[in-house]
Amino acid sequence: MEPARAAEVASVGTEMPEQCARCSVRQFTVCAPLDAAEMRRLTEIHRFVELEAGAPITEEGQPADHVFSVSIGSVRLYKLLSDGRRAVTGFLFPGDLLGLTSRDRYACSSEALTAVRLCRFPRRPLESLFADIPKLERRLLAMASNELAAAQDQMVLLGRKTATEKVASFLLQLSRRQEARLLPGDPVSLPMGRADIADYLGLTTETVSRTITQFKTTGLISLQPQGRVALRDRAALEECAEG
Amino acid sequence: MEPARAAEVASVGTEMPEQCARCSVRQFTVCAPLDAAEMRRLTEIHRFVELEAGAPITEEGQPADHVFSVSIGSVRLYKLLSDGRRAVTGFLFPGDLLGLTSRDRYACSSEALTAVRLCRFPRRPLESLFADIPKLERRLLAMASNELAAAQDQMVLLGRKTATEKVASFLLQLSRRQEARLLPGDPVSLPMGRADIADYLGLTTETVSRTITQFKTTGLISLQPQGRVALRDRAALEECAEG
DNA sequence: CGGTTACTTGATGCATATCAAAGAGGGTGG
DNA sequence: CCACCCTCTTTGATATGCATCAAGTAACCG
Max intra-chain CA distance, chain A:
64
Mutate to test the interface with A, among B81, B141, B200 (most CBs of A within 10 A): B141
CA of A223 to C1' of D27 (A): 13
Checking if the pLDDT of B12 tops 80, the result is no
Say what the pLDDT of residue A4 is: 42
Does the pLDDT at position B207 exceed 60? yes
pLDDT of B164 over the 70 cut: yes
Domain boundaries, chain B: 7-150, 161-242
Q: What does the pLDDT average to over A111-126?
A: 97
Confidence (pLDDT) at B11: 43
CB pair distance less than 8 Å for A81 and B160? yes
CB contact (8 A) between residue A146 and residue B102: yes
Q: Summarize the confidence of residues A76-97 as an average pLDDT.
A: 97
The whole-number average pLDDT for the span B215-235 is: 95
Side chain identity at residue B10, one-letter code: A
- Taking only the tens place, the pLDDT of each residue in B145-159 is 999 999 999 999 999
| Distance between CA atoms of residues B95 and B66, nearest Å | 16
**What's residue A35's pLDDT?**
92
pLDDT at A2 over 90: no
The verdict on a CB contact (< 8 Å) between A158 and B158 is: yes
Say if residue A77's pLDDT is above 80: yes
pLDDT digits (tens, 9 = 90+) for B125-143: 999 999 999 999 999 999 9
Which residues in chain A are contacts of B160 at CB distance < 8 A? 81, 85-87, 199, 202
Model confidence at B14, pLDDT cuts 50, 70, 90, reads: low
Confidence of residue A10 (pLDDT cuts 50, 70, 90): very low
A201: nearest nucleotide, CA–C1' criterion: D18
pLDDT at A14: 58
Q: Which chain A residue has the Cα nearest residue B197?
A: A159
Residue B7 pLDDT greater than 70, yes or no: no
CB distance A56 to A110 below 8 Å: yes
pLDDT at A21: 87
* Cβ < 7 Å from nucleic strand D: A 162-164, 202-204, 206-207, 225-227; B 193-195, 205-206, 208-210, 212-213, 223, 227
Residue A5 has pLDDT above 50, yes or no: no
Instruction: Give residue B172's pLDDT.
Output: 98
Predicted pLDDT of residue A9: 42
CB contact under 8 A, B144 and A142: no
pLDDT band at B17 (very low <50, low <70, confident <90, very high): confident
pLDDT at A3 over 60: no
What mean pLDDT comes out for the span A210-219?
Answer: 97
A232 close to A222: Cβ distance less than 8 angstroms: yes
- Determine, for residues A149 and B85 on separate chains, whether the beta-carbon distance falls below 8 Å: no
What proportion of chain A, given as a percentage, has pLDDT over 90?
Answer: 89
Phi/psi for A195 (5° steps) reads: -65, -40
Whole-angstrom distance, CA of residue A89 vs CA of residue A108: 8
Q: Which nucleotide is nearest to A216 (CA to C1')?
A: C8
How far apart CA B8 and CA B17 sit, in angstroms, is 8
Q: How many CB atoms lie within 10 A of CB A72?
A: 16
DSSP per-residue codes, B61-87: TSB--EEEEEEES-EEEEEE-TTS-EE
Least confident piece of the model among A5-19, A87-101, A147-161, B164-178:
A5-19
pLDDT digits (tens, 9 = 90+) for B78-121: 999 999 999 999 999 999 999 999 999 999 999 999 999 999 99
pLDDT at B6: 39
What confidence tens digit (pLDDT) does each residue in B30-45 have?
999 999 999 999 999 9
* Alpha-carbon gap, residue B233 to B221, rounded angstroms: 7
**Which of the nucleotides lies closest to A205 (Cα–C1')?**
C7
What's the gap in Å between the CA of B137 and the closest CA on chain A? 7
Query: In chain B, what is the straight-line distance between the N-terminal and C-terminal CA atoms, in Å?
Result: 64
Contact B144 A146 (CB under 8 A): no
Strand D positions with any atom < 7 Å from protein CB?
A: 8-13, 17-22, 28
Mean of all residue pLDDT scores within chain A: 93
How far from B4 is each of A65, B1, B7, B19, B21, CA to CA, in Å?
Answer: 51, 9, 7, 14, 16
* Identity of the residue in A108, A144, A153 whose CB atom sits nearest the CB atom of B152: A108
Q: Which nucleotide is nearest to B202 (CA to C1')?
A: C16
Q: Compare CB distances from A144 to B79, B145, B155 and report the shortest one's residue.
A: B145
- Does the pTM surpass 0.85? The reply is yes
CATH number of the domain located at residue range(s) B161-242 in this protein: 1.10.10.10
Distance, in Å, from the CA atom of A96 to the CA atom of A30, rounded to the nearest integer, reads 8
Closest CA to A49 of A28, A72, A31: A72
Which chain B residues touch A200 with a CB distance below 8 Å? 159
CATH assignment of A7-150, among 2.60.120.10, 3.20.20.70, 1.10.10.10, 3.40.630.30:
2.60.120.10
Identify the H or E element spanning B231: strand B228-231
Convert A6-15 to b/e letters by CB count within 10 Å (16 or more is b).
eeeeeeeeeb
